[in-house]
Amino acid sequence: MVDMASWNLSIPVGSPPKTVETSALVKGYDGKYFRSESGYIFFWSPVTGSKTANAKFPRSELRETWADGTLHNWMYPDADNFLNATLEVNQVPSSGKIVIGQIHAYGSTEPMLKVEYQYKDATHNGNIVAKVRNRFDDKESRVIQIAEGVPLNERFDYIIHLSPGGALSVSARGKNWNTPISATWRDKPLYFKAGVYVQDNKGYSSEGGKATFYKLDIDHNRT
């Protein structure tokens, strides 16, 4: 079971898109774009959905909060910071790409890290890639392939870890990649996101991204 007391939810409907608060998620919120069952949570984001401010693409995505629903932002030197997920990707848009996990910076339009599933029609499999901005002022992200050969509807794990010393690692399907990040991130308030952020905004309303998460845990272990 996924503990919903650490999240709120953005869904791709309304202008601006609707936020479902933590209290509603804890009570078992279900809707067209998100469903919570005893053993899993399900996300759906069509390419035609509404978009948040400064975003090019729609999303059905969780954002880290405290249990009372207030936004939870953290500085990485204060703790060992983990996001641990088990999921399967059920559908991708025509671009083949959906973001399934992020470290974002409060007040910034660009995240530190995106973990992305990229499906290839030629192989009928997907790759897990990390897109990383090592410096806060980097305009472009580095793209690193973490794992390959992940079909649709097959469970896999990923772990995001950011240490107090600024060591960032992404693990997926038994593969691990890590890098030191710049101290320019040191004083930036950060937060985790997870779900389906489709990297596409063209097509029919039946096109989009779907994913089922069986595990989604956040830990901030203070040293």
Question: Which CATH number does the domain housing residue 17 bear?
Answer: 2.60.120.200
Residue whose C-alpha is closest to residue 60's, from 86, 41, 73, 40:
41
Q: What is the DSSP string of 26-57?
A: HTT---SSEEE-SS-EEEEEETTS---TT-SS
Q: How confident is the model at residue 54 (pLDDT cuts 50, 70, 90)?
A: confident
Mean pLDDT of 131-136: 96
Is it the case that residue 35 has pLDDT exceeding 90? Answer: yes
How many other β-carbons are positioned within 10 Å of the β-carbon of residue 17?
20
- Kindly report, residue by residue over 158-167, the tens digit of the pLDDT: 999 999 999 9
SS3 216: strand
Question: What is the residue whose two structure tokens read 């880290």?
Answer: 64
Q: Which domain holds residue 166?
A: 4-221
Residue range 21-42: average pLDDT?
Answer: 95
Predicted local confidence at residue 125, as pLDDT: 96
Q: Indicate whether 183 pLDDT > 70.
A: yes
Angle at 47 (CA atoms; ends 114, 145), nearest 5 degrees: 30
Query: What totals of helices (H) and strands (E) does the chain contain, helices first?
Result: 1, 15
The per-residue pLDDT for 8 is: 97
Whether the predicted model's global pTM rises above the 0.85 cut:
yes
At 180, the pLDDT band (50, 70, 90 cuts) reads very high
Say how far apart CA 92 and CA 24 lie, in whole Å: 28
Report the percent of the chain where pLDDT is more than 90: 92
Q: Does residue 1 have a pLDDT over 80? A: no
Q: Which residues pair with 153 in a beta bridge?
A: none
Q: How many domains does the chain have?
A: 1
